[in-house]
Amino acid sequence: MSDDQTAILDRYGVIGYPVAQSRSPFIHRLFADQTDQAMTYELIEAPEDKLDTIVRHFQRNGGRGLNVTVPHKTAITRLVDELSEEASIAGAVNTLELKSDRIVGHNTDGLGLVRDLTHHWQYDVGGKRILLLGAGGAAQGIVAPLLELEPEQLVIANRSIGKADALANHFGTLGAVRAIRFSDIRESDDPYDLIINATSIGLTDEKMPFPHIAITPRHSDCYDLGYGLSETPFMRWAATHDAARIRSGWGMLIEQAAESFRIWRGVTPDTKDVIKRLPIN
């Protein structure tokens, strides 16, 4: 649709690079139908150097809100005038509220993950040993909400140790958290109860760079923040190494989307109805 055609309806979208893989348009369309909201939701591809121009153009042309995905969740913070408490703690933004005079940045990823883990997967994070793979924008948004659930320890493993260190230092006051390299994962470590993939690797690669000894067979549960129409590469890797329970990021995607939708439209969609229609694992 051209800017002229869409000007009558409030416009929303997801901005990222790449973005074609995103299922957010499908989910927000279901939410809009379910709650009778007159709105459009678009896929917006934006390389890093065009991010500011594209967001401002969208805001001037009926854009009321954006979801922000890889790799812009931290870079976008420089564009916002105001941060919600969650976004401020995370230092990352996944939802923009585009007002006529300013841009407010929110982060609904943490809430989305916690709701999916606790409500839909019946998972109790309290007292568990958690291995978080990745230290980018997606990881950043979920560290504080996970620590609030009081795991025994949260270990952040990343290819670049500097980013993992920075996250562990930033959130160190909120709970037991430490940073390691993938190669520091040892068979002799106490078993990880839950392994969360927050890297963007499944988008481009099949081969997982993590040592499989991270998984204690039939004990470790594996959760991928990524999702697909079939199993993700991380889920296949987890199954190959005999993980206990395995789940994709569909539930989190729907829950974070529902919270974005509530922020934008003031109504909370029924997520159970949407989850029923999707290939949730």
| Contact pick of 81, 124, 205, 270 for ligand ATR (by CB under 6 A) | 205
Nearest to ligand ATR of 32, 180 (CB atom) = 180
DSSP helix/strand/coil, 230: coil
Asked if 50 is an active-site residue, the reply is no
Segment 66 to 105, residues that bind ligand ATR, using CB under 6 A? 70-71, 73
| Contact pick of 22, 67, 199, 220 for ligand ATR (by CB under 6 A) | 199
Q: How far is the CB of 160 from ligand ATR (least distance, A)?
A: 4
By CB under 6 A, which span of 27-35, 102-110, 119-127, 194-202 interacts with ligand ATR? 194-202
Other Cβ atoms closer than 10 A to 263: 16
- Cα separation, 17 vs 46, in Å, equals 6
Residue 143 contacts residue 177 (beta carbons within 8 Å): yes
Residue 63 contacts residue 13 (beta carbons within 8 Å): yes
Nearest to ligand ATR of 134, 269 (CB atom) = 134
Segment 172 to 191, residues that bind ligand ATR, using CB under 6 A? none
Tell me the residue nearest to ligand ATR as measured from the CB.
Answer: 136
Q: How far is the CB of 262 from ligand ATR (least distance, A)?
A: 22
Q: What is the 3-state secondary structure (H, E, C) of 241-263?
A: CCCCCEECCHHHHHHHHHHHHHH
Where does the chain have alpha helices with state H? 3-6, 24-35, 51-60, 85-90, 109-115, 137-148, 161-171, 233-240, 250-265, 271-276
- Kindly state the helix (H) or strand (E) to which residue 97 belongs, with its residue range: strand 95-98
Does 166 participate in binding ligand ATR (rule CB under 6 A)? no
The residues that bridge with 221 in the sheet, in sequence order, are: 194
- Cα separation, 281 vs 273, in Å, equals 16
| Contact pick of 93, 114, 138, 143 for ligand ATR (by CB under 6 A) | 138
| Contact pick of 53, 61, 118, 160 for ligand ATR (by CB under 6 A) | 160
Does 16 participate in binding ligand ATR (rule CB under 6 A)? no
Query: Applying CB under 6 A, which residues contact ligand ATR?
Result: 70-71, 73, 134-139, 158-160, 163, 199-201, 205, 209
Active site residues: 73
